[in-house]
Structure 1
Amino acid sequence: MSPRVQVYVIAALLALVGAGLTAYKNLELGFPLLPGEYRTVWTIEAKVGFDADGGPVKAALTLPREQRNMEILGETFSSSGFGFYIAREDDEYRAIWSRRAAQGPQSLFYQLDVYQRPGAALAQPLSLSTDVQKPFLGAREQEAVRLAIYSLVEQAHERSSDDESFTTQLLFELNDEENQDRNLIFRYYTDRSLVDVALLVLATADIPAHRIRGLYLEDDRRRLSPEDLLEVYDGKRWIVFEPISGQPGVPENFFIWQRGGKSLLDLEGGRNSQVTFSVIANDVPARDVSMRGTKDEKDALVDFSIYSLPIEQQSIFKLILLVPVGAMVVVLLRVFVGLRTSGTFMPVLLAIAFIETQLITGLAIFTLILILGLWVRFYLSRLNLLLVSRIAAVVVTVVILMGAISVVSYKLGIEQALTVTFFPMIILAWTIERMSIVWEEDGPYEVVVQSGGSLLVAILAWWVMTNRYIEHWTFNFPELLLVLLAFILVVGNYTGYRLSELMRFRPLVR
């Protein structure tokens, strides 16, 4: 295999790996491809209120489970003076507050942040019981109610083909205020909700079913009671129904708090208990949502990455990761355009300095230091110093110039010039030494050409490196550097004419 083919194979593998990792972070971990993207994070607060009797108190609140379309980013508990722990009971998680003695009104709080993702709400199935306990309807005064229930079952059975369509038809009948059987049942069960009556009728029809408690995610809602959905087992899977419309499926903005199981709240040592909810929406940067979502999972791609470093080191790497982008700009301009620069990658270092000093200020400082440094270098050459001593003297001179510029600019109130220290001193010294040698060997014209080429490349590299999209991609998707490396390897195989050579030989073509 020839070296050229090897380059193309390696470049293809690098590009494939880099693009694949980027796609994984975007599609699976939710990292945004574009800067400035925000996600809606819902903050839900549950307030448990009750009156304590003066003795020992124990309150148990059922906690929501993980859902496929709802990601819990964080949760907090507040319970002044109460002990707290989380217990698992019958495939449910419950928050337990306890206290040896409490008197009067008490308030306990549980708060969680939820991010809604696309997709179905439920992952099938949980270990939910399919046992049916038929209601006892044998008393003489319940005879009319019993007949009404059986009448509803018969009507729904005749107008349906399976348990799913049976449930839909039953909910239609229970919502029809002109249905006499329905009205008789609700007059008897005055304290029961629509879902309660539906569960009663479904149990009579020997169909497993239970309620789902939850909330509709709508901004700025307070003191809410949980809403109920109906979940029915058709022999193969659990199907959720909205009780008012009778349509199957979980509503799009519905957050499931409890699916089946026991009561939402159990209280010992108190009375007048209730659970109310408040919901508010917050716009959060998409990257923060992704980081919070993968914090507990410890995804390897995030755990072993720049994000695991302290914030101070992350800010440093945010600048370092832009260096390969500047190197790519240099490669393109050197290989395809043919610009001559002073040093191969000195323009990249200048571009980094321009990022810190701002472009106009950086250009002025660089030009001033270069002119003064060349003047000092020409004077030192007359002293016949050794190379090492001469370069060291230039370095000292550059430091003195940088210090003088900083002091003078501070006295004049020019704060931007104080960032002169971001210029690489050694690179400046070597640049001055190289320019003086070029001046002596090739004349001042070549110095102007190389200096102008270096500044042009540095300006273009600065323009690319400060692009908000480039900054976002290099920091949040450093895997794209593999794609960049693949591109540079391919460019390294180019052996054609440069743009400057085409212009140079244009008279010969004519």
Structure 2
Amino acid sequence: MSRLPFYLLTGILLVAGIALSIHRHIQFEVPWTPGEQRQVWEIEAQVNFSAQGDPVLVDMALPSHQQGYRILTENTASSGYGLSFLEDQRGRRAQWSTREAAGAQQLYYSAQLLVVPDGRPREIQPPPLPDNIHWESPFASAANQVIEHAHQRSADPFTFTRELVRDFTGDRQGENARLLLTQFDRTPLLVRLLNEAGVHAREVSGLLLEDGRRRQNLTSWLQVFGEDGKWVLFNPRTGEQGRPDNLLLWEDRGQAVLEVQGGINSNISFSMIQHNQPAAAAVRNQLADNTLLNFSIHSLPLEEQALFQTILLIPIGALVVVFLRVLVGIKTSGTFMPVLIALAFIQTTLLTGLVGFLLVVAVGLVIRSYLSHLNLLLVARVSAVIITVIGIISVFSVLSYRFGLNAGLTITFFPMIILSWTIERMSILWEEEGPKEVLIQGGGSLLTAVLAYLAMNNPWVRHITFNFLGVQMILMSLILLLGNYTGYRLLELRRFKPVTED
């Protein structure tokens, strides 16, 4: 029979598992290692104005996901105001409203932003050019001369912008530029000149992030679009091209940052602080997004997440058992009993679990040897062993508590039904094969359980199995491949040692 379908299935599982894990790492920025830290900025915007006793409507621009930064959480403080978050052609905005307000008013908006060094620029549509730009005399002549002078020394919209800004800066500032600056503010003037020259541009507002700064204001930047739709930021004061690493675009649609109806003397200031936190916590809200390719345990309630964090470790223990039984040839009492014992070791710690397991099994075997003389039926005998195991665990827990050994209380995490069947099997094996076989299988079970515990309790393994569900497909493919092995086990090679000696 052809093995092609089998290898095709395992190959699909392996590739799918690796692809899902890589997609999750790149798209949702889930780290590969558990201790990785991410930089997070906490920014607070404070809006101040004086209300005049009339209805008040405050409209403020909000930042959005952009290159270098991603919003984690948002909070507001606005006692007595209604609040709505809106998103339209003007971008993301917050609106506070109230029927009546008088005197000094303060509104707060705070956000946590995750620093994403490898983020891509967001697609933004270029603004339309104004139909007609009117200049009063003598500014029309000055504007045309400034545009013509910069146009001769440029080759595309970006170089034209750079030359135009330099004509308004420092020693290169001519009479025409000085004349225009007497009538217009610098940044709106540059936007108007660029639009007059057929260049799509607008004024945007950005916040320069500096750790521990308070009462900071937004700065104006030129957003210029090229012929291919790509955009570049320019500093309207120096002409420098490019976006600084610490610049957060607070408003990128050319709209007003703050509009207040029913109030006067409005202003907005910003405070900020930077700190580091674990990467898994920083991207937790992304992991809860309900998307088709985001198969995330983080979308479940916390109680179910804690449950699955343990359940997803079982395939790791199963892989260890398959490897030791198929390739090494270790005998165990029960196929996957060591995995369940390893899960109990995770709850009890290794040393406490080993001592508790040996004590329970040893006392259980003694009591089981007495039950064998009663000639009971199998169901009744196993039920009696279960009750015996419960009694043994209860006695050990009470004695541990009396002697101040709190670690002994965790012995209750052992699976009692599995312990009962283990005692039953070892007792029958003792009667049929002798104590040697009991020691071989019992020792093999303990060794397998210890190795499975070490693999399952590794912080890297716990992190990867919980955050990358594609790993389950990889484990499945490896187990299928091991199940296809039909060669000699490592421990069986000693049987052929005399042959090599001859």
TM-score (norm 1): 0.90
Aligned partner of residue 215 in structure 2, secondary structure = strand
Write the deviation string for residues 56-111 of structure 1: whole angstroms up to 9, x where unpaired.
33322223344354332332232222233345665344322233332221111222
User: 1:258 aligns to what?
Assistant: 251
The CA deviation at 1:426 is 1.7
Residues in 1 aligned to 2:157 and 2:305: alpha-carbon distance in whole angstroms: 57
Kindly tell me: are residues 465 and 203 of structure 1, through their superposed partners in 2, closer, same or farther at Cα, counting changes over 3 Å?
A: closer
Residues in 2 aligned to 1:495 and 1:458: alpha-carbon distance in whole angstroms: 24
- Does structure 1 residue 273 correspond to structure 2 residue 266? yes
Write the deviation string for residues 281-314 of structure 1: whole angstroms up to 9, x where unpaired.
242332333331254x521344x65333322222
2:146 to 142, 152, 155: 152
User: 1:17 aligns to what?
Assistant: 16
User: 1:198 aligns to what?
Assistant: 190
Letter in 2 for 1:265: L
Structure 2 unaligned runs (5+)? none
Kindly tell me: are residues 89 and 436 of structure 1, through their superposed partners in 2, closer, same or farther at Cα, counting changes over 3 Å?
A: closer
Residues in 1 aligned to 2:85 and 2:348: alpha-carbon distance in whole angstroms: 53
- Does structure 1 residue 248 correspond to structure 2 residue 241? yes
The CA deviation at 1:240 is 2.8
1:175 to 140, 155, 169: 169
User: 1:341 aligns to what?
Assistant: 332
Write the deviation string for residues 244-303 of structure 1: whole angstroms up to 9, x where unpaired.
4424333333222222443222222222111112222242332333331254x521344x
> Which stretch of the first structure deviates more once superposed, 336-345 or 455-464?
336-345
1:162 to 138, 156, 161: 156
Residues in 2 aligned to 1:66 and 1:370: alpha-carbon distance in whole angstroms: 58
User: 2:477 aligns to what?
Assistant: 486
User: 2:399 aligns to what?
Assistant: 408
Letter in 1 for 2:242: G
User: 1:286 aligns to what?
Assistant: 279
Residues in 2 aligned to 1:103 and 1:309: alpha-carbon distance in whole angstroms: 45
Aligned partner of residue 324 in structure 2, secondary structure = helix
Aligned partner of residue 300 in structure 1, secondary structure = coil
Write the deviation string for residues 311-347 of structure 1: whole angstroms up to 9, x where unpaired.
2222122112111111111111111111111121111
Aligned partner of residue 505 in structure 1, secondary structure = helix
Deviation >6 Å, runs of 4+: none
Write the deviation string for residues 434-477 of structure 1: whole angstroms up to 9, x where unpaired.
11222222221221111111111111111111111111111111
The answer to whether the 8 A contact 1:132-1:206 is kept is no
Kindly tell me: are residues 163 and 24 of structure 1, through their superposed partners in 2, closer, same or farther at Cα, counting changes over 3 Å?
A: closer
Residues in 1 aligned to 2:310 and 2:316: alpha-carbon distance in whole angstroms: 11
The answer to whether the 8 A contact 1:151-1:181 is kept is no
The answer to whether the 8 A contact 2:46-2:270 is kept is yes
TM-score (norm 2): 0.92
Kindly tell me: are residues 73 and 132 of structure 1, through their superposed partners in 2, closer, same or farther at Cα, counting changes over 3 Å?
A: farther
Write the deviation string for residues 331-377 of structure 1: whole angstroms up to 9, x where unpaired.
11111111111121111111111111111111111111111111111
Residues in 1 aligned to 2:199 and 2:411: alpha-carbon distance in whole angstroms: 79
- Does structure 1 residue 395 correspond to structure 2 residue 386? yes
The CA deviation at 1:133 is 4.8
Letter in 1 for 2:101: A
Kindly tell me: are residues 185 and 221 of structure 1, through their superposed partners in 2, closer, same or farther at Cα, counting changes over 3 Å?
A: farther
Residues in 2 aligned to 1:172 and 1:350: alpha-carbon distance in whole angstroms: 74
- Does structure 1 residue 298 correspond to structure 2 residue 273? no
The answer to whether the 8 A contact 2:129-2:195 is kept is no
The CA deviation at 1:146 is 6.0
Q: Counterparts of 1:214-233 in structure 2 under 5 Å? A: 214-233=206-225
Residues in 2 aligned to 1:58 and 1:316: alpha-carbon distance in whole angstroms: 47
The answer to whether the 8 A contact 1:132-1:203 is kept is no
Kindly tell me: are residues 36 and 132 of structure 1, through their superposed partners in 2, closer, same or farther at Cα, counting changes over 3 Å?
A: farther
The CA deviation at 1:151 is 4.2
Residues in 1 aligned to 2:326 and 2:236: alpha-carbon distance in whole angstroms: 69
Q: Report % sequence identity.
A: 42
User: 2:101 aligns to what?
Assistant: 102
Kindly tell me: are residues 176 and 449 of structure 1, through their superposed partners in 2, closer, same or farther at Cα, counting changes over 3 Å?
A: same
Kindly tell me: are residues 307 and 231 of structure 1, through their superposed partners in 2, closer, same or farther at Cα, counting changes over 3 Å?
A: closer
User: 1:56 aligns to what?
Assistant: 55
